[in-house]
Amino acid sequence: MTEKISVTDLIDRERDRDCALVVLMCGIAGSGKKTFSQLLEQDGYVRLSIDEDVWSAHGRYGVDYPVERYRAYLDEAHARLRTKLVALIQHKQQVVVDSSFWNRSERDRYKQLVEDAGGKWRLIYLNVHPDELRKRLKIRSQRFDANAAFPITEEMLTA
């Protein structure tokens, strides 16, 4: 007999009262990181979003601050997020980090941070077929919020 199980059920099997579980979301814009992390949030995880942190601290990309400041603001947001993450781990909270984590060294820094703080981590990589991704990004381009702060161009997708 084959058992059907969801990814969230698999993650739930990793939960431990004595050790914080940190789920690191990884994927390109439009892959479903926000949607998946919100599902975990509904299941009791604390959701930390890098995009929402930048938005709340500095406003709209290219409107409330110059585009050139984005990298610096993103670095500041990561510093704030890491501080919050350590505190949550120390309180044995389950956490989901909503960030692209496209850079391996950034992922590795977070993994090490989680372990050093006494937690355990799991990386969820969301891979979407290019046609579906383009469809999602077209819909997303109609919004202008923290999770769709700037348009993702074809050049960005193919770079």
pTM value surpassing 0.85: no
The amino acid sitting at 100 is S
- Residue 150 pLDDT level (bands cut at 50, 70, 90): low
Q: Which residues contact 66 (CB under 8 A, 6 or more apart)?
A: none
Tokens of 82: 């890491």
User: CA 142 to CA 157: how far, in whole Å?
Assistant: 18
**pLDDT for position 126:** 87
User: CA 99 to CA 52: how far, in whole Å?
Assistant: 10
With CA atoms as reference, report the closest residue to 152 among 102, 79, 108: 102
Q: Which residues contact 18 (CB under 8 A, 6 or more apart)?
A: 92
Q: How many CA atoms lie within 13 A of 72 on its CB side?
A: 6
Tokens of 63: 């409107």
Q: What is the pLDDT of residues 6-32, one digit of tens each?
A: 666 767 767 777 899 999 999 887 788
For the chain, list the domains and their CATH numbers: 7-158 (3.40.50.300)
Q: Are 43 and 6 in contact (CB under 8 A)?
A: no
N- to C-terminal Cα separation, the chain:
44
Tokens of 90: 């120390």
What number is the average pLDDT over the span 144-156?
56
Q: What is the pLDDT of residues 62-116, one digit of tens each?
A: 888 898 999 999 999 999 999 999 999 999 999 999 998 888 999 999 999 999 9
